[in-house]
Amino acid sequence: MAKFAIDLKTGNLKADETPIEAPKELIVGIDLGTTNSLVAYIKDGLAVAVKGTNGKNTLVPSVLHFTQEGQILVGDEAREKLISDPENTIFSVKRLMGKSYRDIQAVHNYFGYKIIDDDQDSLVKIRVKDKYYTPIELSAEILKALKQRIEAELGETVNKAVITVPAYFNDSQRQATRDAGKLAGLDVLRIVNEPTAASLAYGIGLDPALSQTVAVYDLGGGTFDISILRIEQGVFEVLATNGDTFLGGDDFDRTIIDHWLKVQQIGPTVLEQDKNFNQAIRLLAEQAKKQLSTQANFNGTISDWNFSLSLVEFEQLIRPLVQKTINACQSALRDAGLLANQVEQIIMVGGSTRTPLVKKMVSDFFGRSVFDDVNPDEVVALGAAIQADVLAGNQKNILLLDVTPLSLGIETVGGLMDVIIPRNSKIPTRVGRRYTTSIDGQRNLKISVFQGERDLVEHNRKLGEFILKGIPPMPAGLPKIEIQFLLNADGILRVKAQELRSNLEQEIEVKPSYGISEEEMALMLIDSIQNAADDLQARSLLEARNEGNNVVLSAERFVVQNREILNEEEIATTQSLAQTLREAVAGNDKDAINRHLEELNNYTGPLAHRAMDHAIVEAMKGKRV
């Protein structure tokens, strides 16, 4: 703290001898996970995860339980109710963030609680007893628990945070995460990709002079993500992501349970009928799995039953599951255009990477040893804390930048995508561009915002739209409309449209009405490459059509406005050439359109000159009067 002493004689401030240190701002890092969440901060220059009041766990299970009395329990206590009271116990909320019912329709059986849709495309809600909750509200409860935890540790209020999300999260899922933070009383300064945070925890990306290609392998409780990152001058670019949204440590547990039931000849219906047994065997299976991460054998009992498992048996059970993750790594590499040996660092994230077979198979696949020194279920939160510390300005020589994975733009006449912020642009960024109207007297202008790499907006992903209303009527081409794209550090986009002549203004923050699947994101990129040639053709046809339409319109306007100086034949020829062009525009031959366009232009050129001269003469006359 800075110390000052007041010199009583003069009343002036006098500096104390102790060097002044600016008060440090505290921003915490939060890993809001599907299975577990946790909060971390920088303590004496080191990132540490915060334990609960019992001083034991840093992990808070991402589970909520609604008690009969209407209380909401979060974490370990809630987790105990998963089997005994599934209807009132909510898990995996993260899977529902920013999703519509349509998005999750295929998997809604996975959830033991009620998921409500009022219409297919709106965001899902969860029903508990007679109340409805949004995934944002439920995530906010988890965040509140984390906020309380760190406030108890520090004895002061905390209201700024960095929260991590999977690299494939789209804008709507990121925005939902941000909103959850706000609801929990946290100002979310940045949303950071989980693989980026994990890299930071290992110090990767902190030295701007080092360029590296990194694979982040994240096997959690119920999800698997592989991300290939390219880090250059402190900029993290996601080259590819892949994974399986329904593959994780829980599946390891399930294979153990199935194995035990078979060995003991217990029918699977017992699990449905006896909830206590079901709960007990699940816990025992997880315990066995964890023990086999460090030991060669496990023995346990539930009442009279004896359950044992050797490491060899366990590895046999899970090998096909681990192989699936390796296949996903292979796909991610292919998408990134890399060979396994071109990846320089492999970072292990998620509790399930403690399983030795996982480490071994990943390391064999990439042909080098993996990074696993940092606690794999804390590494993301620790990295988030480092990012937070950088944002708080406590680490002066580090600048962390992100890039946008897909291009952002708007729809222009004919359904063309006009890219305003190209993919891989560093963010935050602000780009403005001028547009005008294509129809005379146009009062309203629809601005549709898209994301993607294709030339036609119909192939890209719509993020939102708005209407600039009440433009004063003017001939086509006269209004000056400026569109500004502001992409902030979290990848959230603000689009502003302004008609400069009338100062009309309108803006939106883009919150797409529903989500995008992970595969879709990667596919969009591949798609754009595969369709580049077709797209180019489609684009030039559309551009020819737009131009053709404009010329037809102005030719017609020209005839109407200049009837007195044109003779019958000139009017007839202009109209007939315009008609031919109009017919060409309706067809699909861009060369024909361009040819007729030129004919019309060539014919009307001299007429336009004459009209201009006439107008000048008239104007001069007017002056003399």
Amino acid type, 574: T
Residue 418 among the catalytic residues:
no
- For position 170 contacting ligand ADP by CB under 6 A, the verdict is no
What does the DSSP 8-state code read for residue 344?
-
- For position 75 contacting ligand ADP by CB under 6 A, the verdict is no
**Euclidean distance between the first and final Cα of the chain, in Å?**
81
**Residue 36 touches which member of ligand ADP, Mg ion, none, C-beta under 5-8 Å by kind:** ligand ADP
Residue 274 among the catalytic residues:
no
**Residue 377 touches which member of ligand ADP, Mg ion, none, C-beta under 5-8 Å by kind:** ligand ADP
Residue 76 among the catalytic residues:
no
- For position 372 contacting ligand ADP by CB under 6 A, the verdict is no
Torsion of CA 406, 408, 411, 417, to 10 degrees: -50
Which of 493, 495, 393 has the alpha carbon at shortest distance from 448? Answer: 495
- For position 409 contacting Mg ion by CB under 5 A, the verdict is no
x/- mask, Mg ion, residues 8-47, rule CB under 5 A, reads -------------------------x--------------
**Residue 221 touches which member of ligand ADP, Mg ion, none, C-beta under 5-8 Å by kind:** ligand ADP
Which helix (H) or strand (E) segment holds residue 236: the answer is: strand 235-244
Q: Which entry of 31, 141, 225, 411 is annotated as an active-site residue?
A: 31
- For position 290 contacting ligand ADP by CB under 6 A, the verdict is yes
Q: Cα–chain-centroid distance for residue 556?
A: 48
In terms of phi and psi (left: phi > 0; alpha: psi -120 to 50; beta: otherwise), the region of 620 is alpha
Q: Name which of 49 and 456 has its Cβ closer to ligand ADP.
A: 49
Q: Name which of 33 and 205 has its Cβ closer to Mg ion.
A: 33
Q: Which entry of 94, 125, 147, 289 is annotated as an active-site residue?
A: 94
What secondary structure does DSSP assign to 131-192, as a single string?
A: EEE-HHHHHHHHHHHHHHHHHHHHTS---EEEEEE-TT--HHHHHHHHHHHHHTT-EEEEEE
SS3 label, residue 522: helix
Element counts in the chain: helices (H) and strands (E): 15, 30
Residue 564 among the catalytic residues:
no
Q: Which residues of 22-45 are buried (b: 16+ CB within 10 A; e: fewer)?
A: eeeebbbbbbbbbbbbbbbbbeee
**Residue 352 touches which member of Mg ion, ligand ADP, none, C-beta under 5-8 Å by kind:** ligand ADP
Which of positions 242-281 make contact with ligand ADP (CB under 6 A)?
248-250
Q: Distance between CA 430 and CA 425 in Å, rounded?
A: 10
* Total residues at interface with ligand ADP (CB under 6 A): 22
Out of 61, 181, 220, 383, name the contact with Mg ion by CB under 5 A.
220
Q: Which entry of 103, 141, 171, 218 is annotated as an active-site residue?
A: 218
Backbone angles phi, psi at 70, to 5 degrees: 85, 15
Q: Name which of 255 and 355 has its Cβ closer to ligand ADP.
A: 355
- For position 352 contacting ligand ADP by CB under 6 A, the verdict is yes
Least distance (Å) from ligand ADP to the CB of residue 380? 7
Which of positions 29-68 make contact with ligand ADP (CB under 6 A)?
33-36, 59
Q: Which entry of 171, 179, 194, 244 is annotated as an active-site residue?
A: 194
For the record, the structure tokens of 397 come out as 């020589």
- For position 227 contacting ligand ADP by CB under 6 A, the verdict is no
Which of 63, 183, 181, 32 has the alpha carbon at shortest distance from 128? Answer: 63
Catalytic residues: 31, 94, 194, 218
Under the rule (CB under 6 A), what is the footprint of ligand ADP? 33-36, 59, 220-223, 248-250, 286, 289-290, 293, 350-352, 354-355, 377
Binding stretches for Mg ion (CB under 5 A):
33, 220
